[in-house]
Amino acid sequence: MGSSRFSVLGFVSLLLCSATSFSIPKDQEKDRITELPGQPANVNFAQYSGYVAVDEKAGRALFYWLVEAPVTRLPQLKPLVLWLNGGPGCSSVAYGFAEELGPFRIHPDGKTLFSNPFAWNSEANVLFLESPAGVGFSYSNTTSDLYTAGDQRTAEDSYTFLVNWFEKFPQYKHRDFYIAGESYAGHYVPQLSQIVHQRNKGIENPVINFKGFLVGNAVTDDYHDYVGTFEYWWTHGLISDETYRTLNVTCDFQSSMHPSDACNQALNVASTEQGNIDPYSIFTPPCNDTSSLRHNLRGHYPWMLRAYDPCTENHSRVYFNLPEVQKAIHANVTGIPYPWDTCGNITGNYWADSPLSMLPIYRELIAAGLKIWVYSGDTDSVVPVTATRYSIDALELPTITSWYPWYDNGMVGGWSQVYKGLTFVTVTGAGHEVPLHRPRQALILFKNFLDSNPMPSSSK
């Protein structure tokens, strides 16, 4: 027992020594964040941010932000996880970093930060990417690029980013690597995973040591997403019987990115019927509720008002447009002629291509033996749990572990089913952004994903 302990300690000491003596490339060191404006005291992890070119000719570069695990958690032993938000056209800095799984949250003053006790960098080194060009601080010097973005180019640019980023951060080469994301990243994540997997074929010790992916409330298959979404709206009393029937007729088998005029009209009617709710979290008040309404709700939703600020993206707009913040994170170095925003409307409105289904990619990567987890917050009406379940059901995978409740501190945290090649997890009470609405449960899910453990089935 003693000799085993000695060997483990010796191994860790060797790693620490090698990390200390590792020669850090100059362009990596230039990207180190020394301190964020308004950050809390005693930050014990390294951060880097800056640009990686993906198309020199077009002048296209993507902005990244790396948050390493705390020193006490031995970051050199942790895997690397790339996080992508969707939209298409929404910022992983605005959402993933600043209001979901990043180490900090932004106070309503838009100037100061507070720590997120359930940050995912406690379990991994997390790399946030603003993609495609035109999103957040990522840019292109060719204006037409902003009007021609689409799934294929986004995937190719993201792969080029990874190849170039690993050259900038050679200490992460050959490290276990995962890709994660939510919403329209339900396209980005499997598409990028497919490219990495295919280009790793035949390479014995690949630089990008890809192990699998994790997606939440993910746009997956347009037909099943439509059917499941309309069913969710109807069963939750958000739309009328007549509108439910109209939606199923007019939007049948259509592209979710480019629906027909008739489908759009039906969707507009549905939106009117739903009223002033937050569709991403149907049981919590939207950002434009008055303070008096929030006060009146306090007796009914005491748990929500402590855990969730529906105006968080507004705080991001203030903070990341501060010149001192942009200087600290080495952003906007080319003088982008527009303010930083949470989502880029031009990018989303002119999206060039969007395949109807990701299921063929799922089948390919499941057959390859990669780790694939899909999770869903069950109060999201935008990409609801019913849509995800229909898509998974279409894969016709054998069941390994039947549907069961998983627990956190004796309480049901959600439900799970393990299939051959895929694990599905729901998080009860969570909206579209699971780490925002249920941060503790999201971290439990993330840890179990990394450890390849099923969700805890015991209430003890």
CATH classification at residue 426: 3.40.50.1820
User: Could you tell me if residue 14 is inside a domain?
Assistant: no
**In DSSP terms, which residues pair with 55 in a beta bridge?**
60
Name the residue among 398, 370, 376 with its Cα closest to residue 197: 370
Range of the domain at 63: 22-221+354-451
Q: Is the pLDDT of residue 151 over 70?
A: yes
On whether residue 106 sits in a domain, the answer given is: yes
Active-site residues: which are they?
183, 380, 432
Neighbours of 156 (CB within 10 A): 16
Q: How many domains does the chain have?
A: 1
Position 292 scores a pLDDT of 34
Residue 228 lies in a domain: no
* Cα–Cα dist 239/269, whole Å: 9
Residue 16 pLDDT exceeds 80: no
List pLDDT tens digits, range 426-444. 999 999 999 999 999 999 9
Query: Quick check: is 293 in a domain?
Result: no
pTM beyond cutoff 0.85? yes
Q: Which residues contact 428 (CB under 8 A, 6 or more apart)?
A: 378, 412, 413, 414, 415, 438
Q: Is residue 247 part of a domain?
A: no
- Average pLDDT for the chain: 90
For the chain, give the percent of residues with pLDDT over 90.
80
Is-contact 92 85, C-beta < 8 A? yes
**Is 300 inside a domain boundary?**
no
Q: Which region, left, alpha or beta, applies to residue 193 given φ > 0 means left and ψ of -120 to 50 means alpha?
A: alpha
Q: How confident is the model at residue 14 (pLDDT cuts 50, 70, 90)?
A: very low
460 pLDDT tier (thresholds 50, 70, 90)? low
